[in-house]
Amino acid sequence: MSLSSSLAAMSAAFVPRTAYWSVRLSTGTRLSERQLVPTWHEGQRGVRVLDWTLDLVATGDIARVREVSLFCPDGRVATLDITPDMPAFQFKTKSLEMLGAGALEYQVIGRVVDKESGRCECFAWDYRPKPGESHLVAYKTSVFHFGAWRDTVTPLGALSLEVQGLRL
Amino acid sequence: MSDFTTIRAMFNSNTDASPTWNALSFGGSAGANEIRWCASSAGAGGTGSASWPQYNRPASTGSVPEMWGFSADTSGIKCATYTGDNTKANVMCIDFDNLGTFASAPTFTAYGDSTHAAPSAGTQPGAQSGSPIVNGANPDTGTSTITGYCKCNWYGDDQTGNPTAGSIGTNPSATTRNASGSVSPGAAAWLSTWQDLQGTIAYITHRRTPAATTAGKMFFSPILFTGPGMSTGTLQMVLTFTYAFA
């Protein structure tokens, strides 16, 4: 973790125009991706932002998540209750373009409501909604075939269960 | 960190068997980080985007024979393995670092511009700069199903080594489409039938979610077709790589 990447992590933790996730664990602890985590790499101290895969899935805390929230840039907060039968997931998407700019497409929090079919309920902060449509979207799809609520972004298809820490 | 510090496109300026990969950052502007097409021997590395030679609309459909990559407005290199057909494997790739983790298999398609407006198949010239390419035209790119003019093949594995040199899939024509919606190649294989890139109507999804925090490349080969039904102008389609990260 270099000085520059630590600075980038601190910057990322305080960007007001982006959405971010937060979870409440069964212990009552709240964690969010706006938190900074100390690092020690090749003799250098640094920080990085709290990471879903590294700090929830890898630590086993993903099994203790009881609530997942999406804090939106406009101040609204979308929250989903989580149980062992309805596990949580979270991700962002980005489009990188040749002959154009790159940008975040949307950020999603969700819960799987049927493990067999992968059916899930989500809230998304859409950074590029179609004209007249809301940034905050409630959406139902499947983690095995994640779709799209607008025809200006490609459907994602299957989410990586390993990255999300989902055991279906 | 779940997102990547470096994801970039690359094109090959050497042979198929011994590629030399040249980087192009995403987000082209003012002539930099562009892919440009032209007639045989018409391009030059010192030519600015605004002065790029026009390609005359042909009397019948065919592929545009040369492709160049420009890291700056007047700093371009010819892609030596772009031949406008299926004969070369190592043409372009997406290169990503080991700092990020994909949360699903990435997708690849083309839009008329950065608004990513839904294409209108067969409509010429269409509403966006690149719409003449992306929308296609009847009968140039099909009659009942009107495909886009840009075709693409994709390799199923993400890896650091290069795929085997040689031909990839069946040589496409201006009307080729693998299937509407998403298509994916098999393991260590190219698409047997090329896919056209037409927004969310026709696109490619990588075969798998690449391994977490592991650097690699995803290989692809684009071919730009044109024909008498394509509207003329400065056509700037937007090749778009979309990915999810946790």
Q: pLDDT tens digit string along B36-66?
A: 999 999 999 999 999 999 999 999 999 999 9
Closest CA to B110 of A105, A156, A99, A104: A99
Per-residue HEC secondary structure of chain B comes to: CCCCCCEEEEEECCCCCCCCEEEEECCCECCECEEEEECCCCCCCCCCHHHCCCCCCCCCCEECCEEEEEEECCEEEECCCCCCCCCCCCCEEEEECCCCCECECCEEEEECCCCCCCCCCCCCCCCCCCHHHHHCCCCCCCCCCCCCCEEEEEECCCECCCCCCCCCCECCCCCCCCCCEEECCCCCCECCECEECECCCEEEECCCCCCCCCCEEEEEEEEEEECCCCCCCCCCCEEEEEEEEC
- The whole-number average pLDDT for the span A11-18 is 69
Q: Which of residues 7-36 of A touch B (CB under 8 A)?
A: 9
Q: Does B6 contact chain A (CB < 8 Å)?
A: no
Among B6, B25, B26, B67, the residue to mutate for chain A (most A Cβ within 10 A): B26
Lowest mean pLDDT among A122-126, B31-35, B140-144, B219-223: B31-35
The 10s digit of each residue's pLDDT in B160-170 is 999 999 999 99
Amino acid at B28: G
The 10s digit of each residue's pLDDT in A38-77 is 988 788 888 888 999 999 999 999 999 999 999 999 999 9
pLDDT above 60 for A1: no
ipTM for the whole predicted complex goes beyond 0.95 = no
Residue A16: the pLDDT is: 67
The model's pTM is 0.93
Q: Does A91 contact chain B (CB < 8 Å)?
A: yes
The 10s digit of each residue's pLDDT in A109-119 is 999 999 999 99
| Chain B residues in contact with A162 (beta carbon < 8 A) | 209, 212
Residue A10: the pLDDT is: 58
| Cβ pair B2:A53 closer than 8 A | yes
Q: Does B23 contact chain A (CB < 8 Å)?
A: no
Of residues A90, A93, A97, nearest to B243 (C-beta) = A93
When pLDDT is cut at 50, 70 and 90, the band that residue A2 belongs to is low
Closest CA to B120 of B81, B148, B92: B148
Residue A6: the pLDDT is: 61
Among B101, B115, B182, the residue to mutate for chain A (most A Cβ within 10 A): B101
CA distance A105 to chain B (A): 9
Rg of chain B over all Cα atoms, to the nearest angstrom: 17
| Cβ pair A91:B200 closer than 8 A | no
Of residues A96, A148, A164, nearest to B103 (C-beta) = A164
The 10s digit of each residue's pLDDT in A117-161 is 999 999 999 999 999 999 999 999 999 999 999 999 999 999 999
Residue of B nearest to A102 (CA): B27
Q: Give exposure, B186-221, as e/b (b: 16+ Cβ within 10 Å).
A: eeeebbeebbbbbbbbbbbbbbbbbebeebbbbbbb
Q: Does B1 contact chain A (CB < 8 Å)?
A: yes
d(CA B164, CA B168): 10
Q: Does A131 contact chain B (CB < 8 Å)?
A: no
| Chain A residues in contact with B24 (beta carbon < 8 A) | 98
| Chain B residues in contact with A91 (beta carbon < 8 A) | 103-104, 244-246
Percentage of chain B exceeding pLDDT 90: 89
The 10s digit of each residue's pLDDT in B66-92 is 999 999 999 999 999 999 999 999 999
Of residues A100, A155, A157, nearest to B114 (C-beta) = A100
| Chain B residues in contact with A156 (beta carbon < 8 A) | 104-105, 107, 242, 244
Residue B27: the pLDDT is: 67
| Cβ pair A94:B242 closer than 8 A | yes
Tell me the average pLDDT of chain B.
Answer: 95
| Cβ pair A100:B105 closer than 8 A | no
Residue B16: the pLDDT is: 98
Q: How many CB atoms lie within 10 A of CB B28?
A: 24
